[in-house]
């Protein structure tokens, strides 16, 4: 008998919906657990952090995923990443006295505006930048009901005539949730400032 991991139990709990199909829920939970295991394996040093992030920050995205509201998943993923970037960025560029000032200056910035700064600080790489751009485009496509924009960035299962008909791929959505968790871990990594020589 396979041992059930804590991650799988957490996902099972989050995707559980009243009066829903238990078999389908199990498949959704398994697919998401596998996507996270691929990105952040069980023995990885950040695995406990990934599980905590899943429970505390990505719970709504996982619930939308379990109920097949995939467009809402992408809106939530973008919102979580944006909030985390705004919360983390001030400590990356300012000392303790300046953190509040920087936080006030960037509170209305978007994820797309902050991402290049994280790239220049070495917290993320170009692949992460491409993922952030894609996530922002999907979020904008959902928010503005733009099927053309969605079609460019999401591999749909069938053509759609409205946002309600747009069929996101479940597996791709699970991988994008896992990628977001991994990206938050990268943003939160300790940052070593380079001291200037006097």
Q: Any residues with CB less than 8 A from the CB of 95 and at least 6 apart, and which? A: none
| Per-residue pLDDT at 198 exceeds 80 | no
Could you tell me which of 147, 138, 149, 124 has the C-alpha nearest to residue 173?
138
Rounded alpha-carbon distances, angstroms, from residue 155 to 134, 147, 150, 158, 168? 12, 12, 9, 9, 7
Could you tell me which of 37, 50, 45 has the C-alpha nearest to residue 174?
37
**pLDDT value at residue 193:** 56
- Report residue 42 as tokens: 């069980």
Longest dimension (CA), the chain: 67
Could you tell me which of 66, 68, 74 has the C-alpha nearest to residue 17?
66
Confidence of residue 93 (pLDDT cuts 50, 70, 90): confident
Could you tell me which of 86, 5, 51 has the C-alpha nearest to residue 178?
51
| Per-residue pLDDT at 76 exceeds 80 | yes
Q: To the nearest whole percent, how much of the chain has pLDDT over 90?
A: 39
**pLDDT value at residue 145:** 85
**pLDDT value at residue 182:** 95
**pLDDT value at residue 35:** 93
pTM of the model: 0.83
Least confident of 29-33, 52-56, 90-94: 90-94
Q: Helices 126-143 and 70-93 sit at what angle, rounded to 10 degrees?
A: 130
Confidence of residue 26 (pLDDT cuts 50, 70, 90): confident
Rounded alpha-carbon distances, angstroms, from residue 123 to 52, 64, 88, 165, 180? 20, 29, 11, 37, 14
């Amino acid at each position: 008998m396979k041992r059930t991991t804590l991650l799988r139990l957490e996902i099972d709990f989050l995707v559980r919906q009243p009066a829903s199909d238990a078999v389908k829920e199990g498949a959704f939970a398994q697919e998401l657990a596998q996507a996270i295991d691929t990105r952040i394996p069980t023995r990885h040093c950040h695995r406990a952090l990934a599980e905590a992030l899943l429970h505390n920050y990505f719970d709504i995205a996982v619930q939308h995923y379990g109920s097949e509201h995939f467009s809402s998943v992408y809106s939530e993923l973008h919102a979580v990443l944006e909030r985390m970037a705004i919360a983390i960025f001030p400590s990356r560029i300012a000392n303790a006295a300046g953190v509040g000032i920087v936080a006030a200056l960037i509170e209305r910035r978007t994820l797309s505006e902050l991402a290049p700064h994280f790239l220049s600080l070495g917290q993320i790489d170009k692949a992460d930048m491409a993922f952030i751009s894609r996530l922002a485009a999907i979020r904008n496509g959902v928010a503005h009901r733009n099927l053309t924009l969605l079609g460019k960035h999401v591999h749909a299962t069938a053509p759609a005539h409205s946002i309600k008909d747009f069929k996101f791929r479940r597996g791709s959505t699970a991988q994008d949730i896992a990628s977001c968790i991994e990206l938050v871990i990268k943003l939160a990594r300790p940052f070593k400032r380079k001291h200037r020589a006097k």
